[in-house]
Chains A and B, each alone.
Chain A
Protein backbone atom coordinates (compact mmCIF):
# COMPACT_ATOMS: atom_id res chain seq x y z
CA UNK A 1 0.00 0.00 0.00
CA UNK A 2 2.77 2.44 0.93
CA UNK A 3 6.22 2.18 -0.58
CA UNK A 4 9.00 4.39 0.71
CA UNK A 5 12.15 4.13 -1.35
CA UNK A 6 15.56 5.61 -0.51
CA UNK A 7 14.04 8.63 1.12
CA UNK A 8 16.54 11.35 1.91
CA UNK A 9 15.88 14.80 3.28
CA UNK A 10 18.54 17.44 3.72
CA UNK A 11 18.16 20.79 5.39
CA UNK A 12 21.21 22.56 4.07
CA UNK A 13 24.13 20.43 5.18
CA UNK A 14 22.06 18.78 7.90
CA UNK A 15 20.78 15.35 6.84
CA UNK A 16 17.43 14.70 8.53
CA UNK A 17 16.68 11.46 6.71
CA UNK A 18 19.31 9.24 5.23
CA UNK A 19 18.23 6.69 2.65
CA UNK A 20 15.17 5.28 4.37
CA UNK A 21 13.23 2.48 2.69
CA UNK A 22 10.32 0.44 3.92
CA UNK A 23 6.93 -0.66 2.73
CA UNK A 24 3.60 -1.15 4.42
CA UNK A 25 1.11 -3.81 3.38
CA UNK A 26 -2.55 -3.05 3.14
CA UNK A 27 -4.38 -3.46 6.44
CA UNK A 28 -1.25 -3.33 8.60
CA UNK A 29 -0.64 -1.16 11.63
CA UNK A 30 2.96 -0.05 11.39
CA UNK A 31 4.69 1.41 14.42
CA UNK A 32 7.23 4.08 13.70
CA UNK A 33 9.68 4.27 16.55
CA UNK A 34 12.54 6.54 17.31
CA UNK A 35 13.78 9.03 19.87
CA UNK A 36 12.84 12.69 19.56
CA UNK A 37 14.39 14.28 16.52
CA UNK A 38 15.08 10.96 14.80
CA UNK A 39 13.11 11.96 11.70
CA UNK A 40 9.71 10.38 12.37
CA UNK A 41 7.70 13.52 11.72
CA UNK A 42 9.81 14.43 8.71
CA UNK A 43 9.12 11.03 7.15
CA UNK A 44 5.40 11.37 7.82
CA UNK A 45 5.35 14.89 6.44
CA UNK A 46 6.96 13.64 3.26
CA UNK A 47 4.52 10.74 2.86
CA UNK A 48 1.58 13.12 3.26
CA UNK A 49 3.02 15.61 0.80
CA UNK A 50 3.55 18.43 3.29
CA UNK A 51 7.28 18.33 2.67
CA UNK A 52 9.17 17.06 -0.31
CA UNK A 53 12.09 14.74 -0.19
CA UNK A 54 15.55 15.75 -1.37
CA UNK A 55 15.85 12.31 -2.87
CA UNK A 56 13.88 9.09 -3.14
CA UNK A 57 10.21 8.46 -3.73
CA UNK A 58 6.99 7.57 -1.98
CA UNK A 59 4.14 5.73 -3.66
CA UNK A 60 0.75 5.19 -2.11
CA UNK A 61 -1.44 2.55 -3.67
CA UNK A 62 0.82 2.56 -6.71
CA UNK A 63 0.62 6.34 -7.20
CA UNK A 64 3.69 8.51 -6.82
CA UNK A 65 3.17 11.39 -4.39
CA UNK A 66 4.87 13.85 -6.70
CA UNK A 67 3.12 12.86 -9.91
CA UNK A 68 -0.38 12.55 -8.46
CA UNK A 69 -0.39 14.78 -5.39
CA UNK A 70 -4.13 15.29 -5.14
CA UNK A 71 -5.10 11.64 -5.65
CA UNK A 72 -2.58 10.57 -3.02
CA UNK A 73 -3.68 13.25 -0.56
CA UNK A 74 -7.24 12.05 -0.95
CA UNK A 75 -6.19 8.57 0.15
CA UNK A 76 -4.42 9.74 3.29
CA UNK A 77 -5.83 10.94 6.58
CA UNK A 78 -3.14 12.76 8.53
CA UNK A 79 -2.88 13.74 12.13
CA UNK A 80 0.28 15.84 12.50
CA UNK A 81 2.17 16.12 15.75
CA UNK A 82 0.30 19.29 16.57
CA UNK A 83 -3.32 18.87 15.43
CA UNK A 84 -4.01 21.50 12.74
CA UNK A 85 -6.99 23.06 14.47
CA UNK A 86 -8.43 26.52 13.93
CA UNK A 87 -8.91 27.91 17.42
CA UNK A 88 -11.62 30.33 16.35
CA UNK A 89 -13.98 27.64 15.10
CA UNK A 90 -16.32 25.28 16.89
CA UNK A 91 -15.80 21.56 16.45
CA UNK A 92 -18.83 21.48 14.18
CA UNK A 93 -17.62 24.31 11.97
CA UNK A 94 -14.14 22.87 11.83
CA UNK A 95 -15.23 19.39 10.79
CA UNK A 96 -17.57 20.84 8.20
CA UNK A 97 -14.75 22.97 6.85
CA UNK A 98 -12.38 20.01 6.65
CA UNK A 99 -15.12 17.97 5.01
CA UNK A 100 -15.40 20.55 2.24
CA UNK A 101 -11.65 21.11 2.03
CA UNK A 102 -11.04 17.41 1.50
CA UNK A 103 -13.82 17.29 -1.08
CA UNK A 104 -15.50 14.34 0.63
CA UNK A 105 -18.50 13.00 -1.21
CA UNK A 106 -20.04 10.83 1.52
CA UNK A 107 -23.37 12.05 2.98
CA UNK A 108 -22.16 14.95 5.09
CA UNK A 109 -24.28 14.92 8.23
CA UNK A 110 -24.27 11.15 8.64
CA UNK A 111 -20.56 10.80 7.95
CA UNK A 112 -19.51 13.52 10.40
CA UNK A 113 -21.92 12.13 12.98
CA UNK A 114 -20.42 8.65 12.69
CA UNK A 115 -16.89 9.93 13.12
CA UNK A 116 -17.85 12.03 16.11
CA UNK A 117 -19.35 9.04 17.87
CA UNK A 118 -16.32 6.93 16.96
CA UNK A 119 -13.86 9.30 18.62
CA UNK A 120 -16.40 10.35 21.27
CA UNK A 121 -16.57 14.09 20.72
CA UNK A 122 -20.34 14.47 20.40
CA UNK A 123 -20.53 16.23 23.78
CA UNK A 124 -18.16 19.00 22.66
CA UNK A 125 -19.54 19.26 19.12
CA UNK A 126 -20.82 22.82 19.56
CA UNK A 127 -17.89 24.16 21.54
CA UNK A 128 -15.05 26.41 20.44
CA UNK A 129 -11.84 24.48 19.79
CA UNK A 130 -9.88 27.10 21.74
CA UNK A 131 -11.75 26.06 24.89
CA UNK A 132 -11.19 22.31 24.54
CA UNK A 133 -8.76 20.30 26.65
CA UNK A 134 -5.71 18.73 25.07
CA UNK A 135 -7.35 15.31 24.99
CA UNK A 136 -10.38 16.57 23.13
CA UNK A 137 -8.26 18.55 20.69
CA UNK A 138 -6.31 15.43 19.93
CA UNK A 139 -9.56 13.61 19.25
CA UNK A 140 -10.83 16.35 16.99
CA UNK A 141 -7.52 15.99 15.17
CA UNK A 142 -8.14 12.27 14.74
CA UNK A 143 -11.72 12.95 13.61
CA UNK A 144 -10.37 15.30 10.98
CA UNK A 145 -7.99 12.60 9.74
CA UNK A 146 -10.85 10.11 9.46
CA UNK A 147 -13.00 12.40 7.29
CA UNK A 148 -13.66 10.89 3.91
CA UNK A 149 -12.74 7.44 5.19
CA UNK A 150 -9.26 7.40 3.62
CA UNK A 151 -7.66 3.94 3.23
CA UNK A 152 -4.39 5.17 4.78
CA UNK A 153 -4.11 6.81 8.18
CA UNK A 154 -0.94 8.50 9.34
CA UNK A 155 -0.94 9.41 13.00
CA UNK A 156 1.98 11.29 14.49
CA UNK A 157 2.11 10.56 18.20
CA UNK A 158 -1.64 10.34 18.63
CA UNK A 159 -1.60 9.69 22.37
CA UNK A 160 0.73 12.48 23.47
CA UNK A 161 -0.74 14.55 26.26
CA UNK A 162 -3.67 12.28 26.98
CA UNK A 163 -4.54 10.77 30.35
CA UNK A 164 -4.18 6.99 30.80
CA UNK A 165 -7.86 6.31 30.18
CA UNK A 166 -7.86 8.31 26.98
CA UNK A 167 -4.64 6.64 25.87
CA UNK A 168 -6.28 3.23 26.17
CA UNK A 169 -9.34 4.48 24.29
CA UNK A 170 -7.25 5.88 21.48
CA UNK A 171 -5.18 2.70 21.28
CA UNK A 172 -8.30 0.61 21.01
CA UNK A 173 -9.60 2.97 18.38
CA UNK A 174 -6.39 2.67 16.37
CA UNK A 175 -6.49 -1.09 16.71
CA UNK A 176 -10.06 -1.16 15.43
CA UNK A 177 -9.21 1.17 12.58
CA UNK A 178 -6.28 -1.07 11.73
CA UNK A 179 -8.71 -3.76 10.64
CA UNK A 180 -10.01 -1.71 7.75
CA UNK A 181 -7.20 0.81 7.21
CA UNK A 182 -3.49 0.88 6.66
CA UNK A 183 -2.10 2.77 9.61
CA UNK A 184 1.29 4.30 10.31
CA UNK A 185 1.62 5.37 13.88
CA UNK A 186 4.64 7.10 15.32
CA UNK A 187 5.47 7.00 18.95
CA UNK A 188 8.24 6.89 21.45
CA UNK A 189 6.07 5.07 23.96
CA UNK A 190 7.07 1.45 23.54
CA UNK A 191 4.25 -0.44 25.26
CA UNK A 192 1.92 1.43 22.95
CA UNK A 193 3.68 0.18 19.87
CA UNK A 194 3.88 -3.31 21.32
CA UNK A 195 0.16 -3.28 22.05
CA UNK A 196 -1.08 -1.83 18.80
CA UNK A 197 1.34 -2.53 15.98
CA UNK A 198 1.93 -5.63 13.94
CA UNK A 199 5.17 -4.30 12.59
CA UNK A 200 7.78 -1.90 13.88
CA UNK A 201 10.23 0.29 12.05
CA UNK A 202 12.88 1.91 14.21
CA UNK A 203 14.78 4.95 13.02
CA UNK A 204 17.54 6.83 14.71
CA UNK A 205 19.40 9.92 13.50
CA UNK A 206 17.59 9.69 10.20
CA UNK A 207 18.59 6.09 9.54
CA UNK A 208 16.55 2.94 9.56
CA UNK A 209 17.97 0.69 12.28
CA UNK A 210 15.39 -2.07 12.51
CA UNK A 211 12.33 -3.41 10.75
CA UNK A 212 10.27 -6.37 11.93
CA UNK A 213 7.50 -7.56 14.24
CA UNK A 214 7.85 -6.51 17.88
CA UNK A 215 8.55 -10.16 18.89
CA UNK A 216 11.08 -10.71 16.14
CA UNK A 217 12.99 -7.64 17.07
CA UNK A 218 13.42 -8.62 20.67
CA UNK A 219 14.45 -12.15 19.72
CA UNK A 220 16.88 -10.98 17.14
CA UNK A 221 18.57 -8.72 19.59
CA UNK A 222 19.02 -11.30 22.34
CA UNK A 223 20.57 -13.78 19.98
CA UNK A 224 20.23 -16.83 22.21
CA UNK A 225 17.52 -17.86 24.58
CA UNK A 226 17.69 -17.33 28.24
CA UNK A 227 15.15 -18.99 30.47
CA UNK A 228 14.32 -18.28 34.06
CA UNK A 229 13.02 -21.40 35.80
CA UNK A 230 11.73 -21.94 39.33
CA UNK A 231 11.97 -25.50 40.56
CA UNK A 232 11.14 -27.12 43.92
CA UNK A 233 14.06 -29.00 45.45
CA UNK A 234 17.56 -28.47 46.84
CA UNK A 235 19.53 -25.71 45.21
CA UNK A 236 22.82 -27.58 44.81
CA UNK A 237 21.20 -30.70 43.37
CA UNK A 238 19.15 -28.81 40.83
CA UNK A 239 22.09 -26.69 39.83
CA UNK A 240 24.30 -29.66 39.06
CA UNK A 241 21.35 -31.36 37.34
CA UNK A 242 20.86 -28.37 35.08
CA UNK A 243 24.55 -28.14 34.30
CA UNK A 244 24.43 -31.83 33.43
CA UNK A 245 22.06 -31.13 30.56
CA UNK A 246 23.73 -31.12 27.20
CA UNK A 247 23.74 -27.83 25.27
CA UNK A 248 23.49 -25.71 28.43
CA UNK A 249 26.03 -22.92 28.46
CA UNK A 250 25.53 -21.32 31.78
CA UNK A 251 23.42 -21.68 34.90
CA UNK A 252 23.13 -18.91 37.44
CA UNK A 253 21.38 -19.30 40.72
CA UNK A 254 19.00 -16.44 41.45
CA UNK A 255 18.26 -17.48 45.02
CA UNK A 256 15.07 -18.66 46.66
CA UNK A 257 11.97 -16.52 46.30
CA UNK A 258 9.52 -19.16 47.44
CA UNK A 259 9.99 -21.57 50.35
CA UNK A 260 11.40 -24.89 49.17
CA UNK A 261 12.06 -23.65 45.64
CA UNK A 262 14.91 -21.90 43.83
CA UNK A 263 15.17 -19.72 40.75
CA UNK A 264 17.79 -20.30 38.10
CA UNK A 265 18.71 -18.48 34.95
CA UNK A 266 19.64 -20.98 32.27
CA UNK A 267 21.35 -19.97 29.09
CA UNK A 268 21.41 -22.36 26.18
CA UNK A 269 23.73 -22.53 23.23
CA UNK A 270 22.63 -20.30 20.32
CA UNK A 271 19.47 -21.43 18.60
CA UNK A 272 18.59 -24.12 21.11
CA UNK A 273 15.21 -24.41 22.79
CA UNK A 274 15.76 -25.90 26.23
CA UNK A 275 12.18 -26.10 27.49
CA UNK A 276 11.55 -29.75 26.67
CA UNK A 277 14.87 -30.84 28.15
CA UNK A 278 14.07 -28.92 31.29
CA UNK A 279 10.73 -30.64 31.60
CA UNK A 280 12.28 -34.07 31.10
CA UNK A 281 14.94 -33.36 33.71
CA UNK A 282 12.36 -32.12 36.20
CA UNK A 283 10.10 -35.12 35.82
CA UNK A 284 13.03 -37.55 36.00
CA UNK A 285 14.42 -36.05 39.16
CA UNK A 286 11.14 -35.18 40.83
CA UNK A 287 11.72 -31.39 40.90
CA UNK A 288 8.36 -29.83 39.99
CA UNK A 289 8.65 -26.77 37.74
CA UNK A 290 6.81 -23.97 39.48
CA UNK A 291 7.54 -21.31 36.92
CA UNK A 292 9.22 -20.87 33.59
CA UNK A 293 9.63 -17.72 31.59
CA UNK A 294 11.48 -16.46 28.61
CA UNK A 295 14.06 -13.89 29.53
CA UNK A 296 14.14 -12.27 26.10
CA UNK A 297 14.60 -8.56 25.85
CA UNK A 298 11.52 -6.39 25.97
CA UNK A 299 10.96 -3.97 23.13
CA UNK A 300 12.12 -1.32 25.52
CA UNK A 301 15.56 -2.92 25.83
CA UNK A 302 15.70 -3.41 22.10
CA UNK A 303 14.87 0.20 21.50
CA UNK A 304 17.50 1.46 23.89
CA UNK A 305 20.12 -0.78 22.35
CA UNK A 306 19.19 0.15 18.81
CA UNK A 307 19.08 3.87 19.40
CA UNK A 308 22.03 3.90 21.78
CA UNK A 309 24.18 3.26 18.73
CA UNK A 310 26.60 0.44 18.23
CA UNK A 311 24.01 -1.74 16.56
CA UNK A 312 23.89 -2.15 12.81
CA UNK A 313 21.08 -3.96 11.14
CA UNK A 314 22.13 -7.42 9.94
CA UNK A 315 23.07 -7.13 6.29
CA UNK A 316 20.41 -9.56 5.06
CA UNK A 317 17.68 -7.72 6.89
CA UNK A 318 18.81 -4.42 5.51
CA UNK A 319 18.57 -5.69 1.97
CA UNK A 320 15.12 -7.10 2.64
CA UNK A 321 13.97 -3.80 4.04
CA UNK A 322 15.21 -1.96 1.00
CA UNK A 323 13.21 -4.09 -1.38
Chain B
Protein backbone atom coordinates (compact mmCIF):
# COMPACT_ATOMS: atom_id res chain seq x y z
CA UNK B 1 0.00 0.00 0.00
CA UNK B 2 2.79 2.40 0.91
CA UNK B 3 4.61 1.77 -2.36
CA UNK B 4 1.44 2.43 -4.36
CA UNK B 5 0.64 5.54 -2.34
CA UNK B 6 4.11 6.94 -2.97
CA UNK B 7 4.00 6.14 -6.65
CA UNK B 8 0.56 7.67 -7.17
CA UNK B 9 1.45 10.80 -5.27
CA UNK B 10 4.62 11.14 -7.30
CA UNK B 11 2.70 10.73 -10.53
CA UNK B 12 0.39 13.62 -9.62
CA UNK B 13 3.41 15.84 -9.45
CA UNK B 14 5.38 14.22 -12.27
CA UNK B 15 2.68 15.39 -14.63
CA UNK B 16 1.36 18.95 -14.20
CA UNK B 17 -2.05 17.67 -13.06
CA UNK B 18 -1.36 17.95 -9.32
CA UNK B 19 0.23 21.39 -9.59
CA UNK B 20 -2.50 22.72 -11.86
CA UNK B 21 -5.32 21.54 -9.61
CA UNK B 22 -3.72 22.90 -6.46
CA UNK B 23 -2.68 26.15 -8.11
CA UNK B 24 -6.13 26.85 -9.53
CA UNK B 25 -7.86 26.08 -6.26
CA UNK B 26 -5.47 28.27 -4.30
CA UNK B 27 -5.81 31.10 -6.81
CA UNK B 28 -9.59 30.95 -6.53
CA UNK B 29 -9.39 30.80 -2.76
CA UNK B 30 -7.18 33.86 -2.85
CA UNK B 31 -9.62 35.65 -5.09
CA UNK B 32 -12.63 35.00 -2.86
CA UNK B 33 -10.67 35.89 0.26
CA UNK B 34 -9.82 39.16 -1.42
CA UNK B 35 -13.44 39.83 -2.32
CA UNK B 36 -14.63 39.10 1.19
CA UNK B 37 -11.94 41.22 2.77
CA UNK B 38 -12.65 44.05 0.34
CA UNK B 39 -16.37 44.28 0.86
CA UNK B 40 -17.16 42.55 4.11
CA UNK B 41 -15.40 41.56 7.29
CA UNK B 42 -13.43 38.59 8.54
CA UNK B 43 -16.56 37.11 10.04
CA UNK B 44 -17.58 36.20 6.52
CA UNK B 45 -14.64 33.89 5.95
CA UNK B 46 -16.82 30.82 5.97
CA UNK B 47 -18.66 32.27 2.99
CA UNK B 48 -15.37 31.99 1.11
CA UNK B 49 -15.49 28.28 1.70
CA UNK B 50 -19.11 27.86 0.77
CA UNK B 51 -18.46 29.68 -2.52
CA UNK B 52 -15.32 27.67 -3.10
CA UNK B 53 -17.09 24.45 -2.32
CA UNK B 54 -18.48 23.95 -5.80
CA UNK B 55 -15.04 24.59 -7.31
CA UNK B 56 -13.48 21.99 -5.08
CA UNK B 57 -16.05 19.47 -6.17
CA UNK B 58 -15.23 20.22 -9.79
CA UNK B 59 -11.57 19.48 -9.21
CA UNK B 60 -12.23 16.10 -7.58
CA UNK B 61 -13.18 14.36 -10.86
CA UNK B 62 -9.96 15.64 -12.43
CA UNK B 63 -7.97 14.15 -9.58
CA UNK B 64 -9.71 10.80 -9.51
CA UNK B 65 -10.30 10.19 -13.20
CA UNK B 66 -7.05 8.42 -13.95
CA UNK B 67 -6.53 6.65 -10.65
CA UNK B 68 -7.90 3.24 -11.64
CA UNK B 69 -8.71 3.59 -15.34
CA UNK B 70 -5.13 4.33 -16.37
CA UNK B 71 -3.89 1.06 -14.89
CA UNK B 72 -6.41 -0.91 -16.88
CA UNK B 73 -5.55 0.84 -20.11
CA UNK B 74 -1.77 0.55 -19.74
CA UNK B 75 -2.01 -2.96 -18.32
CA UNK B 76 0.00 -1.87 -15.33
CA UNK B 77 -2.71 -3.49 -13.23
CA UNK B 78 -0.98 -6.75 -14.13
CA UNK B 79 2.01 -5.64 -12.10
CA UNK B 80 -0.15 -4.60 -9.17
CA UNK B 81 -2.41 -7.63 -9.12
CA UNK B 82 0.41 -10.15 -9.47
CA UNK B 83 2.39 -8.54 -6.65
CA UNK B 84 1.97 -9.81 -3.10
CA UNK B 85 -0.47 -7.07 -2.07
CA UNK B 86 -4.19 -7.27 -1.43
CA UNK B 87 -6.67 -5.43 -3.63
CA UNK B 88 -7.78 -3.28 -0.69
CA UNK B 89 -4.18 -2.16 -0.24
CA UNK B 90 -4.01 -1.13 -3.89
CA UNK B 91 -7.25 0.86 -3.70
CA UNK B 92 -6.36 2.46 -0.38
CA UNK B 93 -2.98 3.56 -1.72
CA UNK B 94 -4.63 5.24 -4.68
CA UNK B 95 -7.42 6.77 -2.63
CA UNK B 96 -5.01 8.22 -0.08
CA UNK B 97 -2.75 9.67 -2.79
CA UNK B 98 -5.76 11.42 -4.34
CA UNK B 99 -6.91 12.62 -0.97
CA UNK B 100 -3.45 13.98 -0.14
CA UNK B 101 -3.43 16.20 -3.22
CA UNK B 102 -6.90 17.47 -2.35
CA UNK B 103 -5.92 18.01 1.27
CA UNK B 104 -2.84 20.02 0.27
CA UNK B 105 -5.10 22.41 -1.67
CA UNK B 106 -7.62 22.71 1.14
CA UNK B 107 -5.04 23.16 3.87
CA UNK B 108 -3.17 25.63 1.66
CA UNK B 109 -6.28 27.75 1.65
CA UNK B 110 -5.73 28.34 5.35
CA UNK B 111 -2.70 30.52 4.59
CA UNK B 112 -4.71 33.71 4.02
CA UNK B 113 -6.63 32.99 7.21
CA UNK B 114 -3.38 32.63 9.14
CA UNK B 115 -2.14 35.92 7.75
CA UNK B 116 -5.42 37.60 8.63
CA UNK B 117 -5.30 36.29 12.15
CA UNK B 118 -2.28 38.53 12.81
CA UNK B 119 -4.23 41.68 12.01
CA UNK B 120 -7.68 40.79 13.21
CA UNK B 121 -9.45 38.34 15.42
CA UNK B 122 -10.71 35.36 13.49
CA UNK B 123 -13.39 32.92 14.49
CA UNK B 124 -11.05 29.96 14.20
CA UNK B 125 -13.76 27.49 15.18
CA UNK B 126 -15.84 28.17 12.11
CA UNK B 127 -12.84 28.35 9.79
CA UNK B 128 -11.37 25.09 11.01
CA UNK B 129 -14.79 23.44 11.12
CA UNK B 130 -15.39 24.43 7.51
CA UNK B 131 -12.00 23.12 6.43
CA UNK B 132 -12.54 19.86 8.31
CA UNK B 133 -15.96 19.50 6.72
CA UNK B 134 -14.48 20.12 3.28
CA UNK B 135 -11.90 17.40 3.91
CA UNK B 136 -14.55 14.86 4.90
CA UNK B 137 -16.88 15.79 2.07
CA UNK B 138 -13.97 15.76 -0.39
CA UNK B 139 -12.76 12.39 0.91
CA UNK B 140 -16.18 10.87 0.34
CA UNK B 141 -16.35 12.36 -3.16
CA UNK B 142 -12.85 11.05 -3.92
CA UNK B 143 -13.84 7.54 -2.83
CA UNK B 144 -16.81 7.73 -5.19
CA UNK B 145 -14.58 9.10 -7.96
CA UNK B 146 -12.03 6.31 -7.53
CA UNK B 147 -14.83 3.79 -7.74
CA UNK B 148 -16.25 5.32 -10.92
CA UNK B 149 -12.74 5.36 -12.37
CA UNK B 150 -12.46 1.63 -11.75
CA UNK B 151 -15.54 1.02 -13.88
CA UNK B 152 -14.05 2.28 -17.11
CA UNK B 153 -10.81 2.36 -19.05
CA UNK B 154 -11.52 5.87 -20.26
CA UNK B 155 -10.43 8.82 -18.15
CA UNK B 156 -12.96 11.08 -19.84
CA UNK B 157 -15.89 8.84 -18.94
CA UNK B 158 -14.58 8.54 -15.40
CA UNK B 159 -14.27 12.32 -15.06
CA UNK B 160 -17.71 13.07 -16.47
CA UNK B 161 -19.30 10.28 -14.42
CA UNK B 162 -17.76 11.58 -11.21
CA UNK B 163 -18.70 15.12 -12.14
CA UNK B 164 -22.28 13.99 -12.64
CA UNK B 165 -22.32 12.22 -9.29
CA UNK B 166 -20.94 15.24 -7.49
CA UNK B 167 -23.41 17.58 -9.21
CA UNK B 168 -26.25 15.24 -8.29
CA UNK B 169 -25.23 15.34 -4.65
CA UNK B 170 -25.06 19.13 -4.77
CA UNK B 171 -28.52 19.62 -6.28
CA UNK B 172 -30.29 16.88 -4.37
CA UNK B 173 -30.72 19.40 -1.55
CA UNK B 174 -32.79 21.74 -3.65
CA UNK B 175 -34.92 18.78 -4.63
CA UNK B 176 -35.94 18.09 -1.05
CA UNK B 177 -37.70 21.48 -0.93
CA UNK B 178 -39.93 20.64 -3.87
CA UNK B 179 -40.83 17.12 -2.77
CA UNK B 180 -43.99 17.04 -0.67
CA UNK B 181 -43.82 13.43 0.41
CA UNK B 182 -42.27 13.56 3.89
CA UNK B 183 -40.59 10.15 3.58
CA UNK B 184 -38.80 10.91 0.32
CA UNK B 185 -37.83 14.33 1.56
CA UNK B 186 -36.39 12.75 4.68
CA UNK B 187 -34.43 10.23 2.65
CA UNK B 188 -33.07 13.01 0.48
CA UNK B 189 -31.90 15.03 3.45
CA UNK B 190 -30.35 11.91 4.84
CA UNK B 191 -28.37 11.18 1.67
CA UNK B 192 -27.59 14.83 1.04
CA UNK B 193 -23.90 15.47 1.54
CA UNK B 194 -24.66 19.17 1.92
CA UNK B 195 -26.90 18.82 4.93
CA UNK B 196 -24.20 16.65 6.52
CA UNK B 197 -21.60 19.23 5.69
CA UNK B 198 -23.45 22.35 6.91
CA UNK B 199 -22.97 21.82 10.66
CA UNK B 200 -19.20 21.95 10.13
CA UNK B 201 -19.46 25.42 8.62
CA UNK B 202 -20.98 26.66 11.86
CA UNK B 203 -18.10 25.20 13.78
CA UNK B 204 -20.16 22.28 15.03
CA UNK B 205 -18.23 19.05 15.33
CA UNK B 206 -20.97 16.67 14.33
CA UNK B 207 -20.07 13.04 15.10
CA UNK B 208 -22.90 11.57 13.04
CA UNK B 209 -21.77 13.51 9.99
CA UNK B 210 -18.20 12.35 10.47
CA UNK B 211 -19.36 8.76 10.76
CA UNK B 212 -21.50 9.26 7.67
CA UNK B 213 -18.62 10.51 5.55
CA UNK B 214 -16.21 7.90 6.85
CA UNK B 215 -18.74 5.19 6.03
CA UNK B 216 -19.16 6.52 2.50
CA UNK B 217 -15.38 6.36 2.07
CA UNK B 218 -15.19 2.84 3.48
CA UNK B 219 -18.08 1.59 1.35
CA UNK B 220 -16.65 2.94 -1.90
CA UNK B 221 -13.10 1.77 -1.16
CA UNK B 222 -14.61 -1.63 -0.50
CA UNK B 223 -16.67 -1.54 -3.69
CA UNK B 224 -13.63 -0.54 -5.74
CA UNK B 225 -11.65 -3.43 -4.25
CA UNK B 226 -14.49 -5.81 -5.11
CA UNK B 227 -14.57 -4.38 -8.60
CA UNK B 228 -10.82 -5.11 -9.03
CA UNK B 229 -11.31 -8.57 -7.64
CA UNK B 230 -14.29 -9.27 -9.87
CA UNK B 231 -12.27 -8.60 -12.99
CA UNK B 232 -10.29 -11.74 -12.28
CA UNK B 233 -13.47 -13.75 -12.60
CA UNK B 234 -15.00 -12.15 -15.64
B82 touches A82 (CB 8 A): no
Cβ proximity bits B1-24 to A, threshold 8 Å, 1 near / 0 not? 011101100110011000000000
Residue in contact with B83 in the complex, picked from A45, A88, A93, A102, CB distance below 8 Å: A102
Instruction: Compute how far the CA of A51 lies from the CA of B75 in the bound complex, rounded to whole angstroms.
Output: 13
Expressed in whole angstroms, the minimum distance between the Cβ of A28 and any Cβ of chain B is 21
Q: Is A87 an interface residue (CB 8 A)?
A: yes
Are the C-beta atoms of B15 and A88 separated by less than 8 Å?
yes
Q: Closest B-chain residue to A49, C-beta based?
A: B82
* Interface residue B177 (Cβ < 8 Å from any Cβ of A): no
B218 CB–A CB distance under 8 Å: no
A49-B82, A51-B232, A52-B232 known; A84 vs B77 contact (CB < 8 Å): yes
In the complex, which range does the number of interface residues on chain B fall in? 20 to 34
Q: How far is the CA of A82 from the CA of B78 in the complex (A)?
A: 9
Complex Cα–Cα for A78 and B76 (A): 12
Cβ of A5 within 8 Å of any chain B Cβ, yes or no, is no
| B39 lies within 8 A of chain A by Cβ | no
A85→B80 contact, CB < 8 A: no
Given the interface contacts A88-B11, A102-B84, does A80 sit within 8 Å of B75 by beta carbon?
yes
Given A70-B84, A84-B77; A100-B2 close (CB under 8 Å): yes
Mask of A77-109 contacts with B, CB within 8 angstroms, 1/0: 010101011111100010001101111000000
Q: Say yes or no: is A187 at the interface (Cβ < 8 Å to chain B).
A: no
Q: Does any Cβ of A come within 8 Å of B74's Cβ?
A: yes
Q: Nearest 10 pairs between A and B by C-beta? A: A84-B79, A100-B3, A70-B84, A101-B3, A73-B84, A84-B76, A48-B82, A80-B78, A84-B78, A52-B232
Please give 18 more A-B residue pairs, beta carbons under 8 A apart, in addition to A50-B82, A51-B232, A86-B11: A48-B82, A49-B82, A50-B232, A52-B233, A73-B84, A80-B75, A85-B74, A86-B7, A86-B74, A88-B15, A89-B14, A97-B6, A97-B7, A98-B79, A100-B3, A101-B3, A101-B4, A101-B80
Subset of 24 A-B contacts with CB under 8 Å: A48-B82, A49-B81, A52-B232, A70-B84, A73-B82, A73-B83, A78-B82, A80-B75, A82-B75, A84-B75, A84-B76, A84-B80, A85-B74, A86-B76, A87-B74, A88-B14, A88-B15, A89-B7, A89-B14, A98-B79, A98-B83, A101-B3, A101-B85, A103-B84
